Amino acid sequence: MNKTIQQQINNHLVSPIASISALKADHHAKVYHLTLHNQSLVIAKIDPRFFKQAITSPCPIVNEATMLRYLAKTTTLPVPTVLHAERGLILMTCLAGDHRITLKNDADLAKYLIMLHQHTHPDYGFDMDTVIGGLWQDNRPQTSWVDFFIHARLMAMAQKATAEKQLPIKTLACLEKNLALIASKLKEPAQPSLIHGDLWPGNILCGPNTITGFIDPALYYADREFELAYLAYFGPLSENFWQLYQQEHPLDDDFFNRRLPVYQLYPLLVSVILLQGQYLPLFQQALNAIIEP
């Protein structure tokens, strides 16, 4: 971090920066761990494409700040407190924890997801577009979840993957040809539920026995089952987690056998784009398993 940016950040802090450590970059943004002279810990995320630049395109960091404030106001999820936000810069409190979901803390995870998914809305989507892995998601409201998922998520990401030459045109055509079959495996939920939208272990902060924070949201109102399928894509969840979640929201066998595989096509497509096609064979295999009798 250069001295000019450091001084600009200092202007928004209650205590000057004592030390700076660079963390893993978040796609286009640079991320820093700041220790202040008063021993407070702050996370600074800077996107040089936007910070102090005269461009007007949507800024992911502004959206992130808006979503964190929305979660803090609307829910009881532990999220970082936004200290300052402007185009290309967000300063927020640093929450403790690692990213290890265990049998000792997954009960807390189930509790928080039950609470989050209880927040409802008349429509699917959100009042602004959001970003997942640096990829924009269309959140224009729709009244049908199946239509929203098929067109604003599955096909939109597949078309993006093809445009970036990560998904072959013939695979896109196969997906498009079988949309009606894929849609038939889904169902309309009773109501839209608020979801984190990018829920994987890297965005969950864990303590030994509790969940200490949720970061990098990509909010929208959706089928709550989609969030569970998305999380399970990154690794199996314990029987304890499933039992606790289902005490509030029971899941039928069709979720595990029909809807979960369809929903996991979406994070597979995101992986295809972000990892330059390394996941393409897995996506094609998953798609074939869904469409073949």
Residue 82 has pLDDT above 90, yes or no: yes
Question: How many angstroms separate the CA atoms of 158 and 264, rounded?
Answer: 13
Of 47, 106, 108, 198, catalytic: 198
Alpha helices in the chain (DSSP H): 3-10, 60-74, 106-117, 145-147, 156-163, 169-177, 179-184, 224-233, 239-248, 253-254, 260-263, 265-274, 280-291
Cα separation, 12 vs 20, whole angstroms: 16
Write the pLDDT tens digit of every residue in 7-26.
899 999 999 999 999 998 87
Is the per-residue pLDDT at 293 higher than 90?
no
pLDDT recorded at residue 207: 96
Tell me which residue has tokens 């608020």: 194
Which run of H or of E encompasses 195?
A: strand 193-195
* pLDDT for residue 3: 85
List the one residue out of 230, 227, 224, 226 whose CA is nearest residue 248: 224
In the residue annotation, 127 being an active-site residue is answered as no
Residues 85 and 42 in one domain: yes
d(CA 123, CA 143): 5
Domain co-membership, 205 together with 126: yes
In this prediction, residue 28 carries a pLDDT of 78
pLDDT tens, residue by residue, 119-132: 999 999 999 999 99
Provide the pLDDT for residue 24: 86
Which domain-ending residue is among 26, 59, 93?
Answer: 93
Cα distance between residue 116 and residue 110, in whole Å: 10
C-alpha 201/C-alpha 245 separation (Å) is 17
Split at pLDDT 50, 70, 90, the class of 53 is confident
Which residue type does 91 have?
L
pLDDT tens, residue by residue, 145-204 = 999 999 999 999 999 999 999 999 999 999 999 999 999 999 999 999 999 999 999 999
The sign of the dihedral angle between the CA atoms of 196, 202, 205, 211 is positive
Query: Crossing angle, helix 106-117 and helix 239-248, to 10 degrees?
Result: 30
- Amino acid sitting at position 117: H
Q: Are residues 217 and 146 in the same domain?
A: yes
| CATH number of the domain bearing residue 58 | 3.30.200.20
Residue 101 counted as domain residue: no
The parent domain of residue 142 ranges over: 106-291
CATH number at residue 146: 3.90.1200.10
**pLDDT confidence bin for 57, thresholds 50/70/90:** confident
Region 39-64 average pLDDT: 88
pTM of the model as a whole: 0.95
